[in-house]
Structure 1
Amino acid sequence: MDLTAALATHRLVAIVRGDDPDAALHTVLALVEEGVDLVEVSLSGKDALSVIERARHALGPDRPLGVGTVLTAEDARAAHSAGADFAVTPGLGDGIGAARELGMPVLAGVLTPTEIIAAQAMGVAALKIFPIAQSGGAAYLKALRGPFPDTPFVPVGGVDEAVARACLAAGALAVGVGSPLVGDAAEGGSITALRERARLFRTLVAEATP
């Protein structure tokens, strides 16, 4: 898949992690049903590979499905076998090279200019600025865009509605949103409330300046 193009089109990545695999699966499917087309299942959640495998079966072969918290080459290989077709990392680990060898585009976690340069040299599709809310928010993103004006940045970490709006206005390609969107749905909480939040975030990103 062309992850950079998908990020530019949809502008939102939902991050699902939880201790209830069935609830996590239902969360993934509900998000997709509400039009959140880019969803990553974090490997830090319980039985995440099983969630990915079951989600892939339910979604079919053509829907994007990501895996998050990819740290090692084995993480990338296991997630690819389970059905993930793009990878998200918290930093610059061995999982990036392995994912790319498997044909999985990577949204790689970075924070500093040095890490941005290193990630670009590794051929990643886009750069996850993490954790954005704890590192200066939209002002920090705007500062990074000075030396890196055309770099596809995706802020993640503490991205609520206000941070999402500010980062998109500051030039983010997309935003990654975890608990402010998913809430407790992946722990067995309300799917109805999840759907409402999904519609809210979809409207937010649709109204953001391209």
Structure 2
Amino acid sequence: MNTRTAERRVPPSQALLSCPVVAVLRAGAAADYAPVVETLGEAGIRSIELTLSTPGTLEGFNKLRSTIPDEIEIGVGTVTSMVQALAAIEAGADFLVTPVTDTAIVEACAAAGVPVYPGGLTPTELHAGWAAGATAVKLFPASTVGPGYIGQLKGPFPGIQVVPSGGIGIEDIGSWMAAGALAVSLGGPLIGDAFKGGSLTALKERATSAVEAALEGRVQS
């Protein structure tokens, strides 16, 4: 990695550093986001990823953003093309997440000063995203390799920052954080049935448990 790459890398936000949990939201429609985001915020989660697989995510972004406290960052995920990346940046996304390693997207986000978390699984993919200037790389799907994979990566890539995502349950968070993850990313195991009429009280309890597990695990790293 050259010096210019290191200089343009956008660091993790204070929101993510204060609470190392990213909540991934996949809803039937963007109009369904608000009560779930509010509940997650009440539980202490400070990083929310809205997915482009949810219809209307970018169109409703500004409206949702205006109702959420400033200390909560709202990012856009499932970004798979430069067109989507530029549209998310234009909409005001606080960070971008991709399921793939596209170095052009990473470089565009870094140039715009927007944190970016490109997805990858193999050492080649993860190193490519990191070398291109990623804030951290998204290890996806993380459940296929396990927490020990982070230590293996940091052998040849000692500075790499990793956010595992995919198949991580609340009970797994502590192990991932103790293994050296920058943060953990959770979708279904955290959100559960909240978008299908499920209890928001139960969602808040899960989110609170996730935050506590992440903070405790980080202490052990």
Q: TM > 0.5 between the two?
A: yes
Contact 1:21 1:47 in 2 (8 A): yes
Amino acid at match of 2:193: D
Indicate how the Cα distance of structure 1 residues 85 and 204 shifts in structure 2: closer, same or farther if over 3 A, else same.
Answer: same
**Which of 178, 182, 187 lines up with 1:178 in the alignment?**
187
Q: Deviations over 1:151-194 (max 9, x none)?
A: 11111001102321211121111100111111121344321211
Trace 1:102-113 onto structure 2 (pairs within 5 A): 102-113=112-123
Alignment of 1:42-121 (within 5 A): 42-59=51-68, 63-93=72-102, 94-121=104-131
Amino acid of the structure 2 residue aligned with 1:105: P
- Alpha-carbon distance, 1:70 to partner: 1.1
Secondary structure at the counterpart of residue 50 of structure 2? strand
Of the three residues 157, 160, 167, the one matched with 2:176 is 167
SS for the counterpart of 2:137 is strand
Please list every run of 5 or more consecutive structure 1 residues that lacks an aligned counterpart in the other structure. Answer: none
Per-residue Cα deviation, 1:129-161 (whole angstroms, up to 9, x for no partner): 100102x21122232222223311111001102
**2:149 maps to which residue?**
140
In structure 2, C-alpha distance between the alignment counterparts of 1:184 and 1:98, rounded to whole Å? 35
* The 10-residue stretch of structure 1 (143-152 or 67-76) with the greater mean CA deviation from structure 2: 143-152
- Say whether the 8 Å CA contact 2:106–2:129 is kept in structure 1: no
Deviates more, 1:18-27 or 1:82-91: 18-27
Q: Is the 8 A contact 1:21 1:186 kept in 2?
A: no
Aligned partners of 2:159, 2:13: CA distance in 1, in Å?
12
Instruction: Name the Cα RMSD after superposition.
Output: 2.0
Deviations 1:24-79 (A, max 9, x none): 22212221222100111011112221343222111255642111111112112222
SS in structure 2 of the partner of residue 199 of structure 1: helix
| 1:4 Cα deviation from its structure 2 partner | 5.6
Percentage of identical aligned residues = 39
Q: How many residues align?
A: 209
Q: Which amino acid aligns with 2:195?
A: A
Instruction: Give ranges in structure 2 of 5+ residues lacking alignment.
Output: 1-9
Q: Matches of 2:55 and 2:199 in 1, distance apart?
A: 19
In the alignment, the residues of structure 2 paired with residue 41 and residue 98 of structure 1 have an alpha-carbon distance, to the nearest angstrom, of: 20
**8 Å Cα contact 2:22-2:49 kept in structure 1:** yes
What TM-score results when the alignment is normalised by the length of structure 2? 0.85
C-alpha distance in 1, partners of 2:214/2:75?
20
* C-alpha separation in 2, matches of 1:60 and 1:10: 15
